[in-house]
Amino acid sequence: MSFSADTKEELARLGDQKSCCELAELAALVRMDGTLQISANQQYTLNATTESAPVARKIFRLAKDLLKRPVDIVVRRKLRLRKNNSYMVRIYLRGLEDLQNLGLVDEEGQIYHGIAPNLIKKRCDQKAYLRGAFLAGGSINNPEGTYHLEIVSNDEQHAYALCQLVNRFKLGAKVSRRKHWYVVYIKESEHIVDFIGFIGAHRALLEFENVRVLKDVRNQVNRLVNCETANLDKVVDAAVRQMKNIQLIADTIGLHSLPPTLRDMAELRLDYSDASLKELGEMLRPKVGKSGVNHRMRKIDELAERIRTHKAGNI
């Protein structure tokens, strides 16, 4: 299974919560995955559809325990694409009272588009609601790739209410539109870790952290290697340029025409083409620091450039 599916399975198996938390979680699950069916005799049926068997079992258990209403599950086999099972949990409600308890309608029976305040009064209820929303419409990338967690809703107001709820925990969530859907997403790895931690996916959190640490170490090593390689390339390029300039001076005006300090420097470079500036300075008598060696090399480069300019002018 994918990392996202493993995380959802872990969350779906969580139990032994307070009734207020379970109600908040059930409310989010049916809000995200549910459709309401009203028969001719005013019988209300809430149908929650999911492709996850653990999530379907959780909706079934929560609805049966909390609402004390008849519940059943219909399993359907998809014939196209992935051909996996689809689970529809049917909750037979008594009336508007059940819909109000689940935060789906207000006191006047009108559809409630945000998140009912009575469902998320406590901190634990807020975490439970977000757990239900993630189970119903969430996904998380494998930490080996890019860091991305999202919850998809078809209700714009509900998406922004979810985003606001996530940001009560200071997680930097944002909302974007994707065709007819509204996506609440988190990009920062630290924030994703915090999110999956407080909704209860502790095993997934440890796995995410292990992968993230290894990934960060690997990236740090790559950066150091790349930096070292770049520095070596610069040293080699500079040495090749210096050798060419010294050879030009030797072939034209001769090294004997240079001041003693520059002549000694030029001869050392010819003898030790692979040495660094610091190593060349250590060989000089008296010793010269890296900046002193660089200054002398710059003088040699300037002289070679004047020779080239003079030769070009005579052509």
User: Does a cis peptide bond (omega within 30 degrees of 0) precede residue 117?
Assistant: no
Query: Which segments of the chain have a pLDDT < 50?
Result: none
CB 67 within 8 A of CB 104: no
Q: Output the six-digit token pair for 11.
A: 């969350």
Closest CA relative to residue 11, chosen from 123, 120, 103, 127: 127
CB 252 within 8 A of CB 307: yes
Closest CA relative to residue 7, chosen from 134, 122, 160: 134
Q: What are phi and psi of 256, to 5 degrees?
A: -65, -20
Pinpoint the residues of the chain covered by CATH 3.10.28.10.
Answer: 3-200
d(CA 220, CA 118): 47
Q: What is the pLDDT of residue 81?
A: 56
d(CA 189, CA 140): 11
What lies within 8 Å, CB to CB, of 219 at 6+ separation is none
What lies within 8 Å, CB to CB, of 73 at 6+ separation is 56, 60, 87, 88, 89, 90
Closest CA relative to residue 199, chosen from 95, 106, 123: 123
Q: What is the pLDDT of residue 310?
A: 80
**Total Cβ atoms within 10 A of residue 202:** 13
> Checking DSSP bridges between strand 85-93 and strand 44-50, what pairing results, if any?
antiparallel
Question: What CATH code would you report for 3-200?
Answer: 3.10.28.10
Q: What is the pLDDT of residue 111?
A: 79
User: Global pTM?
Assistant: 0.72
Q: What is the pLDDT of residue 75?
A: 87
State the first-to-last Cα distance of the chain, in angstroms, to the nearest integer. 74
Q: What is the pLDDT of residue 219?
A: 82
d(CA 167, CA 153): 17
Each residue's pLDDT tens digit, 142-157: 988 889 999 999 889 9
Residue type at position 13 = R
d(CA 249, CA 266): 10
Q: What is the pLDDT of residue 195?
A: 95
Q: What is the pLDDT of residue 134?
A: 95
Q: What is the pLDDT of residue 239?
A: 84
